[in-house]
Structures are given as structure tokens and as C-alpha cells.
Amino acid sequence: MSFITGVGLTAYGRHEGSSSLDLMSKAAQLAITDAGLRRSEIDGILCGYSTVAPHIMLATVFAEHFGIKPSYAHAVQVGGATGLAMTMLAHQLVEAGVVRHVLVVSGENRLTGQSRDASILALAQVGHPEYEVPLGPTIPAYYGLVASRYMHEYGVTEGDLAEFAVLMRKHALTHPGAQFHDPITVADVMASKPVAMPLKLLDCCPVSDGGAAFVVSREPTSGIGVRVRGCAQAHTHQHVTAAPALSELGAEIAIAKAKQAAGVAISDVRYAAVYDSFTITLAMLLEDLGLAKRGEAAARVRSGHFSQDGAVPLNTHGGLLSYGHCGVGGAMAHLVETHLQMTGRAGNRQVRDASMALLHGDGGVLSSHVSMFLERVR
């Protein structure tokens, strides 16, 4: 058994003069304070990778910088799924009695500390070095290919995809730390600059500076406990050229195993935090996870199903699409927001019921998946 006992999150956007270590440190201290712990009580650290500061021993570099001496340290890298993969590993470590309090942390100054070309080059390396990278595709290009196929198979339109960007922006408007605070419409998304058709600028998450952290402990450290009820992973491929059929991607495998581990059904979910690097990512994952039928996720958005006051509120901080995306820390913000919702501390974003939450992370081009259920206990 393990519990998320504290969370920390910086604003996302532009942090001039802050290094990746600075942003990680700020988020880490917020999480430790939130858990009611001292730095000296942290005996494990899990650190997400960084493209801005790609040190081969980033976890211990951060531990030294932050002033802790953990008995267990590890760096993890499975793309956008890294945050939840680290949470799953922390859960297993405390359950096994290896450590008592694990600090999970990541952050990058990708917006101010890395050039546009360097960022594009670094992320494009998820492609096959012989069959894909030499042809010059970018991450948006890979997802554009996926989007075209998905739209063809399930009758999804560009207007449908735009609905997800509009919803995420609507949610971001109420969070002071979000990168974007200007409302947008479906028409705005449709009129935005083409990036990798059918994906346009507002279908894509931004590049951000920011940091996120949380503490995973063997026991609750406050009155309301947020327990890891069950989790699972799936890794079906790395490269687009080796990907299985759209109906056989890893999200379906991971969620099936997570439901079995947690002993819950999708109908039990009251809050959802789902990876949203692109609008097509969110549309596909919601359907793969069983939160909507094939081709019908956009209709559920339009009906208000995933709104703050809907049946299953989704990414109430604005997600990657509007809160921002600073690498591994981007998706970790989803868990921070979930914890705030589950402990009744989300302020004007607070939903009616977040007693059972589903989180899902996606790494690569729908390559690596982690599904997780969190449960509120007293």
C-alpha cells in the first residue's frame, strides 16, 4: 500500500533565469512541505530525464543540489509516461519496504533554456534512426500521421479534435499557474497555423518552463489519504513503423491490467487525468480507456461530460494543451491537480466528487502507457 502524501507545482510558462535544477528544487520543496515532512526524511528519489540538462546521473545530481542523501536513487525515461511510471515504481518500492518516503521530481526550462531547433531535434529522436529520423519527421508529424488514420477509421473530424483544445483552455482559465489564459473557440483552433496536418497550432501543446514533484509514502501523513489503488503498464512498440493497429495500442492493455489490479471498473471513476500532448492524443486515449466509445469522445466533450461540473471532470488545470508542457513535469502536473481535487484543495476548480480517479500517461508516439487508479481514504 502507498499514498501520495504531498504535491508541488510551479507555474508553467516562462521562467527567465531559472535552470532545470532550480525549477525541480522549487517543486520538490513545495511537495515535501505539503507532506508535512523534512528533507532529511526523504530516503528515496526518482527523477525524470531532461533534454535541457541530459546528465547521465541526473537523480544524484539533483539530490546533491537539493541537499538530501537518499538510500535509493533512480532516473527514469519513458517519454510522456515517465511521471506515472515513476509513481508506479515509487508505489512498488514503498510497498516492498525498500524506502519510506520517495520524492518524485522533474522539471525543465525548455522554453528559455533550449532553442527551438534543439528541442525539435531532441524530441525527433524517438523515431527510428534508419527508417524515420533521416526523413525529417517531427513529433507533431508522427501524431499527424496517427490523426489522419484515426480520422479515416472512426469518422473523427478536425472540428471534433478542436473541441479538446477548447475544453483544456476553458479549464486553464481558472488556474493562475497556467501558461495560457485567453479563451479560444473551435473556430480559433481551426484557423490557427498548420503544423502537421490535420494538426494545427492550437491542437498542439506548447513548450514551457516548469517543475512538478510529489511524495509517495508508506502511510498517510495528513488527515486525508490518497492511495494508489492499482496501476499497470504496456509497451507495444517504439517506432511508428512498427506500431500495431489502432485498435491494439497499449492504452487498452494497460487499463485492462490496472482495472484488474485495482478491482475497479471505469464506471467507478469520478475524475480523470489523461495525457494530452495533442488533441488527437486525448481523443484516442479517452476512447481507448473506455471513457467514451470509438469516435464519440468529442461528442462527450460537447455535452459537458468532461467539464468541471460534468460526470467525469477531466484535466481541470488545463492539461498539457493549456497549463503547459515542460517535459516529464508536464504530465506530472496532472497528478498534482488530481491530488488537489481529491483532498478538496482545488479552490474555484473544485469538482463535486473526486473520490476515485483514473490517470493515464503516454510516452513516445502512443508507445508506452501507464494507467493508474487513485482512491481517497480517510
**All cell numbers assigned to 84:** 506515472
Would you say residue 189 lies in a domain? no
Report the alpha-carbon distance of residue 218 to residue 241 in Å, rounded.
42
Residue 339 is assigned to a structural domain of this protein: no
Is 342 among the domain residues? no
Range of the domain at 69: 3-114+208-217
Q: How does pLDDT run across 40-49, given as a tens digit for each residue?
A: 999 999 999 9
The mean predicted confidence, pLDDT, of the chain is 96
**How many domains does the structure of the chain reveal?**
1
Question: What CATH number corresponds to the domain at position 61?
Answer: 3.40.47.10
CA angle in degrees (0–180, nearest 5) for 93-94-97 = 90
pLDDT (tens place) for every residue of the chain, 378 residues total:
999 999 999 999 999 999 999 999 999 999 999 999 999 999 999 999 999 998 999 999 999 999 999 999 999 999 999 999 999 999 999 999 999 999 999 999 999 999 988 888 888 889 999 999 999 999 999 999 999 999 999 999 999 999 999 999 999 999 999 999 999 999 999 999 999 999 999 999 999 999 999 999 999 998 889 999 999 999 999 999 899 998 899 999 999 999 999 999 999 999 999 999 999 999 999 999 999 999 999 999 999 999 999 999 999 999 999 999 999 999 999 999 999 999 999 999 999 999 999 999 999 999 999 999 999 998
pTM above 0.95, yes or no: yes
**Chain centroid offset of residue 327 CA:** 9
Contact 156, 286 (CB under 8 A): no
Whether 105 is covered by a domain: the verdict is yes
Q: DSSP labels for 205-274?
A: PPP-EEEEEEEEESS-SSSSEEEEEEEEEEE--SSGGG---GGG-HHHHHHHHHHHHHT--GGG--EEEE
In a domain, 58, yes or no: yes
Residue 90 lies in a domain: yes
